[in-house]
Amino acid sequence: MESFLLDLLASPSWPFAASRGVIVIGVLMTIAGYSVLLERKASAWIQGRIGPNRTSHPLIAWIPLLGTFLMKGGFIQPAADGLKFLFKEDPLPGHVRKGYYVLAPIVALAPALATVVMLPFGRLPDGNVIALCPGADVGVLFMFAISSLGVYGIALAGWSANSKYPFLGAVRGSAQLISYELAMGLSVLTVFLATAAPGVDSPLSLVAIVDSQKGAWNVLGHPLAALIFLICVFAETNRHPFDMPESETDLVGGFHTEYGSFKFGLFFVAEYGHMVIGSSLFILMFLGGWHVLPWLPTVGTGVVATLAGLAAFFLKLAFFLFFFVWVRWTVPRFRYDQVMRIGWRVLLPAAIVNLLAYFAWYAYKG
Amino acid sequence: MAVKVVERRPLTLAERTYLPQILAGLRVTWENMVRPPVTLQYPDERPAIPQNYRGVPTLVRDPEGREKCVSCQLCEFVCPPKAIRITPGEIPADAPTAHVEKAPKEFEINMLRCIYCGLCQEVCPEEAIWLQTQYSMTGLSREAMVNDKARLYELGGTLPDAHRKWDVKKTEAERQAGGAH
């Protein structure tokens, strides 16, 4: 590890690598921030309201049309929200386990940022993949392994808060993650089976999975797997209707009840970061990644193709972030026992049956 | 009372998956989303206030700009929270309205006490006090929330008067005085 870091520092390309990392993490954080805005705006629209439309800055308000547009669209709001979290008093309650209490938000956010390393966004004109760590053969495994670590942040927060409701939230969150991780893993196995055609080196790499969807997207060939995976993504990101750990009606605020100011902000960003990661995984594995349409992988050539791919990817991502919000303001929260029943008695058997069916199909096909 | 047992239909497979219901719910929220918002952006947009609204109580003048209040103090007596305070005064004998005899020297309504019940308007024999359409009263101090006479007339303005009670009385008195001669 040390020699790797030293090599990295010595190599002439490390500023490039570092700046690339900063850019990708910046993009992720920006998307997370603006999905908070999307959440506020979309919930307002669904409820017949307008949503944030007042926040502005004199320098921005001064721009003739754009300034008004930015203000009415609430585009300055995420910055204001972030600054508010930053400048609020950050009290440390007397009854918490202090070290873990401080550690928990960091543990919640770090996996979300770490998984971006493996996330491919598109393809450059020279055939290389736009990602921080493009060649990784085990991309999917890494993403599953690391993104599940996010629940440690929740568990740690609930436990260290030393208070009953956060603790209940943490227990629920952990149980839910374990229940849905199984169905999630089993459902994507069929995708790997489909990808592992002869001639594909690394069927576990996200790039190979995307490349295998040049024709039909996996969502067409594996609809049940896609559905199970989508439901599990909702559960894993603790979004409605599965937001058991937060569950503000019965658990006050759930695992982050005792948190305030920027620590709460970190949990908030982590939740949206996980949403971005989960949606990206779904897009890469089932919706053809940066392919524009089924049976229409690219439009144009060279730079145009790259931009079209990036646009396709980010449009799909934007739709999924909107879909998360849309579902949240549509479906009421499941009861805890319902969550467990859906996970163990519906999704897991369905995923197993689905997997066996595809085993049989591929065995029959040879 | 006979109990009627309603047979519960078992849920179909589609219903037990929740998915059709969730899709229907998504359609409902989508239809809500594309509908224009119902928000009234309050300080910029104001609600339409009906003319019979029971807002801030005010004193009104008659169409000729004369003071209607005769300081009978009925409103002061009826006011449940005791928000009204009237200091009665005489009308000078050489004034054209001398036959009315009395007018308030000072008239104060404490808007921190007022409960907008409208009893003052109901009790007033002269229709001099009206709860009009102003619904928002603010002030920076307790003193600023007490409306004095000048402020009450400024808020009230002039309202049409169908009865012209005092004109009728005056002409009647003059007619009778003329008939006696």
C-beta atoms of B39 and A49 within 8 A: yes
| pLDDT at position A215 | 76
Q: What share of chain B is helix, strand, coil (3-state, %, to 5)?
A: 35, 15, 50
Q: Is A325 on the interface with B (CB under 8 A)?
A: no
B contacts of A326 (beta carbons < 8 Å): 26, 29-30
Do A176 and A245 meet the contact criterion of CB atoms below 8 Å apart?
yes
| B29, B39, B41: residue with CB nearest A330 | B29
User: What span, in angstroms and rounded, lies between the C-alpha atoms of A139 and A121?
Assistant: 13
**What's the pLDDT at A2?**
58
Distances (CA, A) of B39 to A70, A272, B34, B36, B44: 19, 28, 14, 9, 12
Average pLDDT over residues B11-22: 84
The sign one gets for the Cα dihedral A218, A220, A223, A228 is positive
- The residue type of B27 is R
Measuring CA to CA, how many Å separate A350 from each of A182, A192, A357?
11, 17, 10
Phi/psi at B104 (5° precision): -70, 135
CA distances from A210 to A213, A216, A350, B159 (A): 5, 11, 25, 77
| Per-residue model confidence (pLDDT) at position A3 | 63
Distance CA B51, CA B42 (A): 19
Which residues from chain B sit within 8 angstroms of residue A44, using beta carbons? 37
> What is the Cα–Cα distance from B57 to B54, expressed in whole angstroms?
8
Residues of B in contact with A327 (CB under 8 A): 22, 26
- A114 contact B CB<8A: no
Q: What is the pTM of this model?
A: 0.79
Say what the pLDDT of residue B82 is. 92
Q: Which residues contact residue B63 at a Cβ distance below 8 angstroms, ignoring those fewer than 6 apart?
A: B158, B160, B161
Contact B22 A329 (CB under 8 A): no
Q: Is the CB of residue A195 less than 8 Å from the CB of residue A210?
A: no
**What is the Cα–Cα distance from A185 to A195, expressed in whole angstroms?**
15
Identify from A41, A50, A231 which residue to disrupt to test chain B contact, counting B C-beta atoms within 10 A and taking the largest count: A50
- As beta bridge partners, residue B130 has B58
B32 CB neighbours in chain A (<8 A) are: 45-48
Q: What tens-digit pLDDT sequence spans chain A (366 residues)?
A: 456 656 655 666 777 777 777 887 888 888 888 888 888 888 898 888 888 888 888 887 788 888 888 888 888 888 888 888 888 888 888 888 888 888 888 888 888 888 887 778 777 777 677 776 666 677 778 888 887 888 888 888 888 888 888 888 888 888 888 888 888 888 888 888 777 766 666 667 777 777 777 777 888 888 888 888 998 888 888 887 888 777 777 777 777 888 878 888 888 888 888 888 888 888 888 888 788 777 777 777 777 888 888 888 888 888 988 999 899 888 888 888 888 888 888 889 988 998 898 888 888 876
The model's confidence at residue B180, banded by pLDDT at 50, 70 and 90, is low
Contacts of A330 in chain B (CB under 8 A): 22, 25-26, 28-29
The answer to whether the bond into A105 is cis (omega within 30° of 0) is no
Is residue B77 helix, strand or coil?
helix
* CATH fold for the domain made of B57-156: Alpha-Beta Plaits (3.30.70)
Size of interface A-B (CB pairs under 8 A): 33
Q: Do A45 and B32 touch (CB under 8 A)?
A: yes
Judged by a CB distance cut-off of 8 A, whether residue A48 touches chain B is yes
Does the predicted interface ipTM exceed a cut of 0.90? no
Residues B86, B146: Cα–Cα separation, whole Å: 13
Q: Does A332 touch chain B (CB under 8 A)?
A: no
Q: Which of B25, B32, B41 has its CB closest to that of A48?
A: B32
C-alpha span between A175 and A247 (Å, rounded): 14
Contact check, Cβ <8 Å, A48/B35: yes
B22/A48 Cβ within 8 A: no
Determine contact, residues A313/A297, Cβ cutoff 8 Å: no
What percent of chain B is modeled with pLDDT above 70?
98
CA distance B21 to chain A (A): 9
CB within 8 Å: B33 and A49: no
> Which of B22, B29, B38 should we substitute to test contact with A (largest number of A Cβ atoms within 10 Å)?
B29
